Amino acid sequence: MQSFPVSASSCNINFPVVHQPCTVFKPASLTEVSKLILSSPNKSCELDSIPTFLLKSCLHKLIVPITKIINLSLSFGVFPSHFIHAHVIPLFKKSSLPVNDLNNYRPISNTNIIHI
pLDDT at position 7, please? 44
pLDDT for position 91: 86
Is residue 35 within 8 A of residue 59, CB to CB? The reply is: no
Tell me what the pLDDT averaged over the chain comes to: 77
Q: Are 47 and 82 in contact (CB under 8 A)?
A: no
Least confident of 3-7, 24-28, 84-88: 3-7
Could you tell me how far CA 22 lies from the centroid of its own chain?
20
The better pLDDT of the pair 48, 11 is held by 48
The amino acid sitting at 82 is H
pLDDT of 16: 59
DSSP the chain: ---EEEETTTTT--PPP-----SS-PPPPHHHHHHHHHHS-S---TT-SS-HHHHHHTHHHHHHHHHHHHHHHHHHT---GGGSEEEEEEEE--TTS-TT-GGGEEEEEE--S---
Instruction: Report the length, in residues, of the chain.
Output: 116
Range from 28-32, 39-43, 101-105 that averages highest in pLDDT: 28-32
**pLDDT confidence tier of residue 3, bands split at 50, 70 and 90:** very low
Whether residue 96 is predicted with pLDDT greater than 80 in this model: the reply is yes
Q: In the predicted model, what is the mean pLDDT of residues 62-77?
A: 88
**Mean pLDDT throughout 106-110?**
80
